[in-house]
Structure 1
Amino acid sequence: MRELRFLGSARWIGFAIFVVALSAVCIQLGIWQFHKLEDRQVRNELVREHLDTAPVPLEDVVPAGSAVEPDQEWTVVEVTGSYDVDHEVTVKFVNRDGRPGVDVLTPLLLEDGTAVLVDRGFTETLRTNARPETLPEPPDGEVQVTGWLRVDSSAGRQATQVFDGQVRAVSSRGMAEHVPYDLRSGYVDLQEQSPASSGLEPEPRPDLGQGPHFFYGLQWWFFAALAIVGYGWFARAERQERRTAAARAARTSPTTDEAGREITPAR
């Protein structure tokens, strides 16, 4: 134990405190990642249930004046109305399988005078900030839309308000000043439509994978273990260095015999 007395020095106490703090932070970050994994698994299960359920009328899920709740997202809904192309906008900076483009967002007017935003799909464009000059037209007259109910984006006003016929994120709140009628909360990702129209690619099914959270959690715990093992490795190296220095000093230090005469070590 005498060889480990150096661990009580200010330098090594400070090092130990740093290692403990670093390990604690890494462990907590690992736990956080595993909690995110659990949250994602719960969300994925809820999404699967919604996607496997038969379509329900939009009014049954989100009546006028009510907001779409997070646990309602991805519910398959059906709604009937007519498209208002005059207030159609595009969602810019959309990327689909490495292809740049826009989503086409068109209000669907309902019988009660309100409207719901419908993301009619994706079209590939040049990698530019400008709104496309021509877009695929929706059907005239009454249409029946079936699609996934989505919550409003939480992005700021600059992203959701219409500028030059475009937005960067979809929100019924951001679009409210762009249309002369009340908008239902959220929006619908179109999957089927009657009568049908062509030229736009519907939104693909959501990613239901577990993501990187499990491996990120293990990674943070590995860092915690590495910090503790590193402390032990440096302490062992310090002890070995002190042993070597003590042995070297013992070999070079003069000694005396029983009569007190100095004995020079043999070289």
Structure 2
Amino acid sequence: MRRLRFLLSRRWVIFFVVVIALAWVAWRLGEWQFHRLEDRKQRNAIIERNEALPPAPVTDVLAVGDDVSDQKQWRVVEATGTYDPDDTVIVRYRTREGTSGVDLVVPLVLSDGTALLVDRGWVATETRGSTPDDLPEPPPGEVTVTGWARQDATGDSTDVTDLSTRSISSERIGEALDRPVLGGFVDLRSESPAAETPLAAAELPELDNGPHFFYGLQWWFFGLLAVFGFFYLMYDEWRGVRPKRRGTADPEDDSEGAQHPAVDREHHARQE
């Protein structure tokens, strides 16, 4: 056990603590990635289920003052009303495939006077954050729309200034327009009659499992690598402090204290 006393030195104690901390962090990050994988699988299952259902009346899914629940996210809904293009809200910084653009959110006024916020789609812009001079008009008169129910965004990005925002929040937009709106919003899938200038429609998110499984394995591998490295360096240090075997000659001692036989014979010849 004497040969392992170096593990009690300050350097090795600190090294041990650092390795344990790194391994623990790597383990937790791996678990976090696997939790994200499970969340993604649940989200994909909800989207696939809701996409397969027939369109539901919008008031069965959305209500004034209520947000869209996780179970209703991406549910296909249908509504009939009249667009109010004067209250169009521009959602900035919506880049697609490297091209700058904006989304256009237009209130669809229903028969009871409430409004459904419809993200009609994306239009390209010249620069990031700019606004097109001529916004494509929605269909006039009574329109029937179908789309995917979406949850409101949160945070400072939902602030509305001059009918412009960075993220969609029905609460903030309703306050800015000073009109009652249904909670959440709808990503447009179709509208009848169709608009003269259609916009680039929203698409369902990717339904694969993403990279979370391999990211989780990588984090766990890094943790195991740190532990393995500690024990390897400990073994290397242990080899360096092993006592020499009894009877083993030191090469340096041999070179300094012992003479070559030929040199010894020459010395005796000179004496004679």
Taking structure 2 as the reference length, the TM-score comes to 0.86
Query: For 1:223, what is the secondary structure of its paired residue?
Result: helix
Q: Where does residue 108 of structure 1 map in the other structure? A: 108
Deviations 1:171-222 (A, max 9, x none): 1111122213201101000111110113301101212121221111111101
Aligned with residue 162 of structure 2, among 132, 155, 164: 164
Q: 1:131, 1:165 within 8 Å by CA — same for their partners in 2?
A: no
Shift of 1:102: 0.8
Q: Where does residue 192 of structure 1 map in the other structure? A: 190
User: One-letter code of the match for 1:217?
Assistant: G
Query: For 2:42, what is the secondary structure of its paired residue?
Result: helix
CA distance in 1, matches of 2:245, 2:12: 20
Shift of 1:223: 1.0
Percent identity, please.
44
Query: For 2:123, what is the secondary structure of its paired residue?
Result: strand
Q: Where does residue 266 of structure 1 map in the other structure? A: 258
For residues 204 and 164 of structure 1, do their structure 2 counterparts lie closer, same or farther at Cα, with a shift above 3 Å needed? same
Q: Where does residue 267 of structure 2 map in the other structure? A: none
Given the alignment of the two structures, is residue 240 of structure 1 paired with residue 239 of structure 2, yes or no? yes
CA distance in 2, matches of 1:193, 1:152: 22
Shift of 1:16: 1.6
CA distance in 2, matches of 1:226, 1:250: 39
CA distance in 1, matches of 2:7, 2:37: 40
Q: Where does residue 97 of structure 1 map in the other structure? A: 97
CA distance in 2, matches of 1:135, 1:246: 89
Q: 2:27, 2:223 within 8 Å by CA — same for their partners in 1?
A: yes
Q: Which runs of 5+ in 2 are unaligned?
A: 260-272
For residues 246 and 12 of structure 1, do their structure 2 counterparts lie closer, same or farther at Cα, with a shift above 3 Å needed? farther
User: One-letter code of the match for 1:12?
Assistant: W
CA distance in 2, matches of 1:236, 1:27: 24
User: One-letter code of the match for 1:22?
Assistant: L
Q: Which runs of 5+ in 1 are unaligned?
A: 255-263
User: One-letter code of the match for 2:172?
Assistant: G
Q: Where does residue 78 of structure 1 map in the other structure? A: 78
For residues 64 and 50 of structure 1, do their structure 2 counterparts lie closer, same or farther at Cα, with a shift above 3 Å needed? same
Show the 5 A alignment for 1:46-85.
46-85=46-85
Q: Where does residue 172 of structure 2 map in the other structure? A: 174
Shift of 1:98: 2.1
For residues 252 and 162 of structure 1, do their structure 2 counterparts lie closer, same or farther at Cα, with a shift above 3 Å needed? same
Q: 1:131, 1:166 within 8 Å by CA — same for their partners in 2?
A: no
Shift of 1:149: 0.4
196-205 vs 69-78, which moves further: 196-205
Shift of 1:246: 9.4
Query: For 1:226, what is the secondary structure of its paired residue?
Result: helix
Q: 1:85, 1:107 within 8 Å by CA — same for their partners in 2?
A: yes
CA distance in 1, matches of 2:16, 2:249: 31
CA distance in 2, matches of 1:83, 1:112: 14
Given the alignment of the two structures, is residue 33 of structure 1 paired with residue 33 of structure 2, yes or no? yes
RMSD: 2.3
Given the alignment of the two structures, is residue 227 of structure 1 paired with residue 220 of structure 2, yes or no? no
Deviations 1:60-91 (A, max 9, x none): 11234433112211000000110011110211
Q: 1:123, 1:199 within 8 Å by CA — same for their partners in 2?
A: no
| Deviating 4+ runs (over 4 angstroms) | 244-247
Shift of 1:252: 8.5
Shift of 1:127: 1.8
Q: Where does residue 117 of structure 1 map in the other structure? A: 117
Taking structure 1 as the reference length, the TM-score comes to 0.88
For residues 13 and 245 of structure 1, do their structure 2 counterparts lie closer, same or farther at Cα, with a shift above 3 Å needed? farther
User: One-letter code of the match for 1:212?
Assistant: P
219-228 vs 162-171, which moves further: 162-171
User: One-letter code of the match for 1:105?
Assistant: V
Given the alignment of the two structures, is residue 14 of structure 1 paired with residue 14 of structure 2, yes or no? yes
